[in-house]
Chains A and B, each alone.
Chain A
Amino acid sequence: MNLLGAYVPGSSPLHRLDPCIRMLSFSIIFAAIAISDSICGYLLSLAAVVLLYRIAAVPLMPSIRTLWRFRAFFITVFLMNAFFQPSDDPYLSWWIVMFSSDGIIMGARMVLSVILLTQLSSLLTAVATPIAITDGLRTLLHPLSILRIPVDEASAIVSIAISFIPVLAAESSSIMLSAASRGAVPEGRKAKEKALSLIPLALPLFLSAFRRADELAAAMEARGYRGERLRRRRISLSFGGREAFSLLLSISLLIGAIALKGVL
């Protein structure tokens, strides 16, 4: 199962990219998606994301199926925008509710952006191990350490948080199964009741997350970890043809997204 945040071992060009360049390229593509505001812009971003999944040889469908579980969230985001976006020419206006074509377009944009950004994030964690992401982030953010920003620690936090996503997803499934076996989450109830019955499951999940975090911290310290300061990179940073092509492609996409702003 391809859970969001899970690393997918492979030897594709994306897997073999220099960690720093990969992080930089993905950041540029994130920016391109974030600034897209037209159908053409979104189509371009969508094509780029699908192409990257093909290059990485990471299956796209399991990731989309995972997103499908969050459909209620996406519908809520869309409806919030559709009904509460201020507009000069609403179809319907009552109290603070304003249903308009502007709201519908804004809602669709938000949902598309979130879906594309989530898919891209999922791809990043699929092609890079948390340690490689830390290496990339640390190198990219290094200039900020001059301003006494704890770059090493921040990178490590991001890395550990990413590596915990699949672990916590598996843990939550286990807790839900355990609760279901004791009748806590019966199948076929109404959505509201189902949502309320999930609240008690949050406590064991949080406790489990804290326990695991505590154990991981002790294990990391026991293996000589102390805030990345002394760590020596096992993978030397390099810049070759693959890295140059990656940067070129991502910058082209950003330029394309800027050029297509407001087109259609």
Chain B
Amino acid sequence: MPSIAAEDISFSYGGEDVLSSFSFTIPGPGTVAVLGANGSGKSTLMKLIAGLLPLRRGRIEIDGRQVTEDNAFSIRRSIGIVFQDPDSQFVSPVLEEDTAFGPENYGFSRTEVMSRVDRSLSLTGLQDRRRSAPQLLSGGEKERAQLAGVIAISPDILIFDEAFSMLDLEGQRSMHDLVAALKEGRIVVSITHSAEEAALSDRVILLRRGRIAADGPSEDVLSDMDLLSSCSIRPSYALRLTSALREAGIDARFAISDDGLKEALCSLL
């Protein structure tokens, strides 16, 4: 069963603390959002988890194994990261070659590589574009192409680093549906500055200047307007609307997501 544990980790760039005395545990499969404003240390945390940055203080364990510079490569085998800007991530001008890059790096046989490429492209709905240049796909397709390259290595932990922020609404919906289909038996970490996106996760770790400001069920963390404001996070539309209704004397339930808002409004009728 996949797990992530961070214990008292700190990290600084050029003497400036980005993460300070940071601890949390994700004991098993589930969806977790790491929510924070720009510069709060979200992306640094992701890179430390994947062993892409050397940890100088503290301890990170993936599936019970401590991440060190020596074993970062083998630990990365169980972590897939989808980054923000797909244009900077493609290594080949042919989609199927790009998708095969990860499995080839891990030394799978030729048959296994091709089977993984087929599966990933089929899952992401890109089987018809396999000979296309990923750089020339549409924005939504590029994100799916990037995801195809990541799931081809069958990671137990999927990290999305602001991966949906450049997509339009339709693209975001399509990606969220894909993630929902992939989350079974996996840890899915969404790194985001959007309360709306964080609301799609079961749990939210809220960051403020490199420290954990709150960690708990998304309903609890994302319904605290003052807490979100203190972390420079704009509350979700659902929360702003239900708060405004309450201020106007209407006894509406707090909601943090579109579905919650629908329920809250229906209960008023």
Using a CB–CB distance below 8 Å, which chain A residues touch chain B? 6-7, 9, 129-131, 160, 163, 166-167, 211-212, 215-216, 218-226, 230-234, 236
Residues of chain B within 8 A of A215, CB atoms compared: 83, 85, 88-89
Report the minimal beta-carbon distance from A159 to chain B, rounded to whole angstroms: 8
Q: How far is the CA of A131 from the CA of B80 in the complex (A)?
A: 21
In the complex with contacts A129-B97, A222-B50, A223-B102, A163-B87 CB distance below 8 A: no
Report the minimal beta-carbon distance from B232 to chain A, rounded to whole angstroms: 24
Establish whether residues A130 and B79, one from each chain, have CB atoms under 8 Å apart when the complex forms. Answer: no
Q: How far is the CA of A182 from the CA of B247 in the complex (A)?
A: 46
Establish whether residues B81 and A222, one from each chain, have CB atoms under 8 Å apart when the complex forms. Answer: yes
Establish whether residues B108 and A218, one from each chain, have CB atoms under 8 Å apart when the complex forms. Answer: no
Residues of chain A within 8 A of B77, CB atoms compared: 224
B:76-104 near A, CB below 8 Å: 76-77, 79-81, 83, 85, 87-94, 97, 100-102, 104
Report the minimal beta-carbon distance from A156 to chain B, rounded to whole angstroms: 10
Establish whether residues A167 and B101, one from each chain, have CB atoms under 8 Å apart when the complex forms. Answer: no
Q: How far is the CA of A38 from the CA of B132 in the complex (A)?
A: 42
In the complex with contacts A163-B92, A167-B87, A167-B135, A221-B101 CB distance below 8 A: no
Establish whether residues A222 and B79, one from each chain, have CB atoms under 8 Å apart when the complex forms. Answer: yes
Residues of chain A within 8 A of B94, CB atoms compared: 7, 9, 129
Name the residue on A nearest B90 (C-beta): A163
Neighbour of A224 across the interface among B89, B102, B113, B132, CB < 8 A:
B102
Report the minimal beta-carbon distance from A204 to chain B, rounded to whole angstroms: 16
Q: How far is the CA of A129 from the CA of B134 in the complex (A)?
A: 13
Residues of chain A within 8 A of B76, CB atoms compared: 221-222, 224
Q: How far is the CA of A133 from the CA of B50 in the complex (A)?
A: 29
Report the minimal beta-carbon distance from B182 to chain A, rounded to whole angstroms: 17
Asked if B123 is an interface residue, CB under 8 A from chain A, the answer is no
In the complex with contacts A215-B89, A216-B91, A234-B100 CB distance below 8 A: yes
Q: How far is the CA of A7 from the CA of B76 in the complex (A)?
A: 30
User: A232-B108, A234-B110 are known contacts; what are 18 more A-B pairs with Cβ within 8 Å?
Assistant: A7-B94, A9-B93, A9-B133, A131-B92, A163-B91, A163-B92, A218-B47, A218-B83, A220-B91, A222-B52, A224-B105, A224-B106, A226-B73, A230-B105, A230-B107, A231-B105, A234-B97, A236-B110
Q: How far is the CA of A176 from the CA of B77 in the complex (A)?
A: 41
A/B pair count, beta carbons within 8 Å: 96
Residues of chain A within 8 A of B132, CB atoms compared: 9
Q: How far is the CA of A224 from the CA of B108 in the complex (A)?
A: 12
Subset of 27 A-B contacts with CB under 8 Å: A7-B93, A9-B93, A9-B131, A9-B132, A129-B93, A131-B92, A166-B93, A166-B135, A167-B135, A211-B88, A215-B85, A216-B88, A216-B89, A216-B91, A218-B83, A219-B91, A220-B91, A222-B76, A222-B81, A224-B76, A224-B105, A225-B105, A231-B105, A232-B107, A232-B113, A233-B110, A234-B104
Establish whether residues A6 and B88, one from each chain, have CB atoms under 8 Å apart when the complex forms. Answer: no
In the complex with contacts A219-B83, A221-B76, A163-B52 CB distance below 8 A: no
Report the minimal beta-carbon distance from A130 to chain B, rounded to whole angstroms: 6
Report the minimal beta-carbon distance from A105 to chain B, rounded to whole angstroms: 40
Name the residue on B nearest A219 (C-beta): B89
Report the minimal beta-carbon distance from B262 to chain A, rounded to whole angstroms: 37
Establish whether residues A131 and B91, one from each chain, have CB atoms under 8 Å apart when the complex forms. Answer: yes
Q: Across chains A and B, which 4 residue pairs bring their CB atoms closest together, nearest first?
A: A224-B105, A215-B88, A7-B93, A223-B102
Q: How far is the CA of A5 from the CA of B105 in the complex (A)?
A: 25
Asked if B198 is an interface residue, CB under 8 A from chain A, the answer is no
Neighbour of B93 across the interface among A6, A212, A224, CB < 8 A:
A6
Report the minimal beta-carbon distance from B177 to chain A, rounded to whole angstroms: 24
Neighbour of B52 across the interface among A167, A212, A218, CB < 8 A:
A218
Report the minimal beta-carbon distance from A99 to chain B, rounded to whole angstroms: 46
Establish whether residues A130 and B91, one from each chain, have CB atoms under 8 Å apart when the complex forms. Answer: yes
Residues of chain A within 8 A of B87, CB atoms compared: 167, 212
Name the residue on B nearest A211 (C-beta): B88
Asked if B235 is an interface residue, CB under 8 A from chain A, the answer is no
Residues of chain A within 8 A of B106, CB atoms compared: 224, 230
Establish whether residues A225 and B83, one from each chain, have CB atoms under 8 Å apart when the complex forms. Answer: no
Establish whether residues A234 and B114, one from each chain, have CB atoms under 8 Å apart when the complex forms. Answer: yes
Report the minimal beta-carbon distance from B153 to chain A, rounded to whole angstroms: 7
Q: How far is the CA of A164 from the CA of B114 in the complex (A)?
A: 26
Q: How far is the CA of A131 from the CA of B149 in the complex (A)?
A: 15
Q: How far is the CA of A223 from the CA of B81 in the complex (A)?
A: 8
Report the minimal beta-carbon distance from B249 to chain A, rounded to whole angstroms: 50
Asked if B62 is an interface residue, CB under 8 A from chain A, the answer is no
Name the residue on B nearest A132 (C-beta): B97
